[in-house]
Amino acid sequence: LRQGHIGLQNHGDGDEVAFRNIRIKQAEGPSGPRTGEVRGVNGKCLDVDNANTADGTKVQIWTCNTTAAQRWTVGTDNTLRALGKCLDIDNAGTADGTKIQLWTCNGSAAQQWAPQTDGTVRNPRSGKCLDASGGTWNDGTPVHLWTCHTGPNQKWTLP
């Protein structure tokens, strides 16, 4: 663990308990990639605009509706995929406000996303987070890259 603790159960007040040879083993995670909705601010889902698969298509937040445009796969290669394409940073940018889009998967650092324990999803290359633009967060609000600050518009729940 990088943070937190591991608890061991005791029997009750006054009971003496001893432990010996305690070992900690990594639990087996789910096999294969995880697929489902990526939920963000106000319970809205990460959505591909009009389920368009063209490179450069806007990625936005939208009321969850179980369509393919909102079905994301967390790849074992640290990508987020929808409609056979990857969540991508436009031109591998690193500036606040850089557009997030759908793009043909190419293994680049602009398509790598790492979920953090604080609920943010960070691009390791830029050190910045996936962010829902603005402060109103209506259907169609685009997502972009922004300095991580753990506000509600940077909290995501992955499948």
**CATH number (domain holding residue 146):** 2.80.10.50
The answer to the question of residue 98 being in a domain is yes
**pLDDT tens readout for residues 53-98:** 999 999 999 999 999 999 999 999 999 999 999 999 999 999 999 9
Helix (H, G, I), strand (E, B) or coil at 115: strand
Number of domains in the chain: 1
The answer to the question of residue 38 being in a domain is yes
The answer to the question of residue 10 being in a domain is no
Mean of pLDDT over the chain: 91
How many angstroms separate the CA atoms of 30 and 125, rounded?
A: 27
* pLDDT given at position 15: 76
The answer to the question of residue 132 being in a domain is yes
Choice among 15-24, 98-107, 119-128 with the minimum mean pLDDT: 15-24
Q: Is the pLDDT of residue 10 over 70?
A: no
The answer to the question of residue 107 being in a domain is yes
φ, ψ (nearest 5 deg) of residue 70: -120, 10
* pLDDT given at position 136: 85
| Domain extent for 134 | 34-154
The answer to the question of residue 143 being in a domain is yes
The answer to the question of residue 27 being in a domain is no
**pLDDT tens readout for residues 92-102:** 999 999 999 99
The answer to the question of residue 19 being in a domain is no
Residues 6+ apart with CB under 8 A from 101: 55, 56, 57, 58, 59, 87, 88, 89, 90
